[in-house]
Structure 1
């Protein structure tokens, strides 16, 4: 199985820490205020990952395809598949979880320019712990069951 998608990352000043003021100081003094940018520069990152596990594939044997020609062939061939598969389901798109983890890891890192942002994203991507990918892939059977149980409504993943 292969999960692919893209995500937007924005240039930010993640160097924020806690601000401590002396009692009685002006909380609106510019040195105590964070400056924000209404429309920060951003970049689109594309990525994919795969994890092959026979046990996961056997337990998640229901196949999902939405093209009419494919669903007709699957039906004619008597292959089990989910006919009302949601076309854009974050519940089943494991890479959405991966992007979320990477964005969380960027907090506190210097992403103040597009170059720095790109560098940090690449570093995080290349140094990703593969057991996290394995855990995401292994969660697929339970995600599928939960999606079926909830009839396509959001699930807790």
Structure 2
């Protein structure tokens, strides 16, 4: 498709845009005999094309723009489907050629991120919430105690596992990830602040979280945590808009306990709650130890929860101003704020 000179120019341009050698090689923009080398210190690129055949470009710049518009209209369209649509515009090209042209504009195929669906109301509520708290500092967020529920399943939470194996070891016991049709699930409710993790309650099996159970957990677990971490100082409690949280009896009871509520909390907004990062840390720690039954799973959940350091909790709370700013920047859309460093260091 390209001459040697053009290939070199395209590779250098992609490298300057931040694409790694692996990304460029995967695009097959150059023949397999092309060597691509890069230096992290100098950020230079050395390319040696041993053999390359010249092919005239099959499309004009205008046709290339059309291809990109088709792709941007539906990001999930495959390169084969794009080639078929492009053919209707008079360009006969392979799926590989389509991928190469899109790569020139930085359009690389990646796994779609999974996020809760945001309705117009969700987006509006997220903006209202973030504008209300946009001036809060990390010190202000230190007065908040965050809470949430989360499920834990046997045999791990992740849907993908990488293993190193030799030929013929694909089904070796140490190289497979066990699955069951109906994995046992344990539901927990926990809370934390910048003072550290608080109470963690494991719900009895087949117990639905209703206003009665919620008031019981609050009285027996959350109130002692608030007293332990804040004493006589005023704190603000965060919970989402689940029906049992908004029940009149709960609202009245919280008022009688002189507990202020953060919010109103916007729906479908786990990215704004730092406890989601805490669940991620906890699940990875528990999964690493491979519990084989419900009792071991419960014991590990409690053990690893108690082992989460106050330093991790502090960093998560300190991230709140950044989360708020990110959502405002994205005009209410999902915040990509992820604390990979904190999660990795805590494992």
Name the TM-score, length of structure 2 as normaliser: 0.32
| d(CA) in 2 for partners of 1:17, 1:117 | 23
Stretches of structure 2 lacking an aligned partner (at least 5 in a row): 1-143, 196-239, 247-262, 338-347
What does 1:1-157 align with in structure 2 at a 5 Å threshold? 1-12=144-155, 18=163, 20-21=165-166, 23=167, 25=168, 27=170, 34-51=177-194, 86-157=266-337
Distance 2:308 2:175 in 1: 36
Structure number with greater CO (CA < 8 Å, separation at least 6) is 1
Structure 1, unpaired ranges of 5+: 53-64, 68-81
Higher helix share: 2
Instruction: Give the CA deviation at 1:99.
Output: 0.2
Higher-Rg member (1/2): 2
Deviation at residue 110 of structure 1 after TM alignment: 2.9
Q: What residue in structure 2 maps to residue 71 of structure 1?
A: none
Runs of 4+ residues deviating >6 angstroms: 29-32
- Asked if 2 retains the 8 angstrom alpha-carbon contact of 1:110 and 1:116, the reply is no
Task: Name the CA distance, whole Å, in 2 between partners of 1:31 and 1:92.
Answer: 38
Following superposition, the deviation at residue 29 of structure 1 comes to 7.5
| Structure 2 CA distance for aligned equivalents of residues 148 and 26 of structure 1 | 49
Partners of 2:326 and 2:156 in 1: CA distance: 38
The Cα of 1:150 is off from its aligned counterpart by 1.2
The alignment partner of 1:118 has SS state of helix
Aligned equivalents of 1:138, 1:43: Cα separation in 2: 29
Indicate the RMSD between aligned Cα atoms, in angstroms. Answer: 3.3
Could you say if the C-alpha distance between residues 115 and 17 of structure 1 is closer, same or farther in structure 2, counting changes exceeding 3 Å?
farther
Distance, in Å, in 1 between the alignment partners of 2:329 and 2:162 is 43
